[in-house]
Amino acid sequence: MSAVAEIRSGGFEITAMTTPAGIRLRGEVDIATLPTLELALELVVDRAADATVDLSELTFIDVCGLRALARAAIRLHMTGRCLRLRGAGTRTQRLLSLLGWAELFELGC
């Protein structure tokens, strides 16, 4: 995994990756850090073919953060691309499933 840039907001960090193309999230995603995540996802959707979001170092994500990921996945799907979630914990996968959003992502990559 090759990192190229980092954004920090409180205890939340986003690292841009080139291989695979996408971002790595670290810390907590909640209503306070949501705008930072949304901006990063917008950049990923606008620039990447298929994109990967690495959640392996994420300690918490609320439904607002999951909705932001789902919206990014939908935008990618509309243009024939996909969003891969790598390192999603069992709780995150369960929440995505309960919300009906799991099918929007390639999980476990």
pLDDT digits (tens, 9 = 90+) for 52-99: 999 999 999 999 999 999 999 999 999 999 999 999 999 999 999 999
The upper half-sphere exposure of residue 11, i.e. CA atoms within 13 Å in the direction of its Cβ, equals: 9
Percent of the chain clearing pLDDT 70 (strictly above): 87
Helix 90-99, helix 63-77: angle, nearest 10? 70
Q: What percent of the chain has pLDDT over 90?
A: 80
Mean pLDDT of 18-38: 94
pLDDT of 2 > 80? The answer is no
> Concatenated DSSP letters for 7-49?
EEETTEEEEEEEETTEEEEEEEESTTTHHHHHHHHHHHHHH-S
Q: What is the pLDDT of residue 47?
A: 84
1 three-class SS:
coil
Instruction: Give yes or no for residue 109 having a pLDDT over 50.
Output: no
The CATH architecture that domain 2-107 belongs to is: 2-Layer Sandwich (3.30)
Helices and strands (H, E) in the chain, number of each type? 3, 6
